Structures are given as C-alpha cells and as structure tokens.
C-alpha cells in the first residue's frame, strides 16, 4: 500500500524562515512572491516606486520588457511593455 507524501508549500515553513526568505529576495522577487498566493499578497508589503524602477532596470525587467508606472492602487505596477 502506497502512502502519500504530504505536499510542501512555503506556508508550511515557520514564520521566521518565511521572513528570512522575504528578506533575501530583491524587488522582482517581491513581485513574484506576492503573486504566489493570497498569504504572501497580504503579508509582503507592496513595492514603492523606487523599488518598481529597480525591478524595471533589472536583467529580468529588460529581458521581459517590463516598465514601472505609478498606478499602484490596483496591482503592483510592473507591466509588460507590448510593442504595437
């Protein structure tokens, strides 16, 4: 008989380790972490405009054609720039 292994999620980690992870990621990692689940969306603070600009200027930001804007009332304002 096979036993199921419990699934691992970051939420299973103690709060101290979650805080350590949050402290180690840069602005782009903050955005990705906030997009992971409702828990991190509510606990990881949104980025300010300076941090959004830092994410825009990162290697990933350039590769993905991301740009920052100050419309932060809906979502973290880092969007893909689409050429027309």
What does the alpha-carbon distance between residue 56 and residue 40 come to, in Å, rounded to a whole number?
21
Residue 81 has a pLDDT of 56
- Full-model pTM: 0.58
Alpha helices in 1-84 (DSSP H): 15-24, 27-34, 38-43, 49-57, 59-63
Residue 72 has a pLDDT of 47
Q: Would you write out the chain's pLDDT as a tens digit for each of its 84 residues? A: 567 777 777 778 888 988 888 888 877 788 788 888 888 888 888 877 788 788 888 888 888 777 777 554 445 555 555 554
What does the alpha-carbon distance between residue 34 and residue 7 come to, in Å, rounded to a whole number?
20
Residue 64 has a pLDDT of 79
């Amino acid at each position: 008989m096979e036993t199921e292994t419990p699934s691992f999620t970051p939420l299973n980690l103690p709060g101290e380790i979650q805080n350590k992870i949050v402290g180690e990621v840069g602005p782009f990692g903050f955005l990705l972490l906030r997009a992971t689940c409702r828990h991190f969306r509510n606990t990881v603070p949104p980025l300010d405009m300076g941090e959004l600009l830092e994410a825009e200027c990162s290697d990933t930001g350039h590769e993905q054609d991301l740009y920052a804007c100050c419309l932060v009332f809906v979502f973290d304002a880092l969007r893909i720039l689409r050429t027309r």
